[in-house]
Amino acid sequence: MKTSVRTTLALLALTTAAGFLTSNAFAADTPWQKAHPRREEVNHRLHVQNQRITHEVKEGEITHQQAHQLRANDRGVRAQERSMARQDGSHITKVDDKALNQELNKNSKAIGQ
């Protein structure tokens, strides 16, 4: 009985969190997002990849060691993004964006293999 109550409460919490995330996705961009759309895209992709890694570990699809390596790769991309932005007045150029997306694509393909 207690398990079903816990399960129900957990599902309710997840549904509520999903509702907040969905409503934020449709909300107007913040001033930072408007000023730095390429950086926002890169940071969002890094966030999503981190969630995917966590999910794959929980499902037993990848080991903790593999997850650690994937996250290290993503931290490297994040460091590159910050370095590139520092050189261009807090923005990243289209060329920088392309290079970062190639790295993110490589890391994304490695998740769940």
Show me where the domains of the chain are located. 37-110
- Give the pLDDT confidence score for residue 98 in this predicted structure: 94
Per-residue b or e along 47-65, where b marks 16 or more CB atoms closer than 10 Å to that residue's CB: eebbebbeebbeeeebeee
Render each residue's pLDDT in the chain as its tens digit; 113 residues: 445 556 655 555 656 655 555 545 555 667 756 667 888 899 999 999 999 999 999 999 999 999 999 999 999 999 999 999 999 888 889 999 999 999 999 999 998 66
- Give the pLDDT confidence score for residue 15 in this predicted structure: 61
| Residue tagged 């913040």 (tokens) | 30
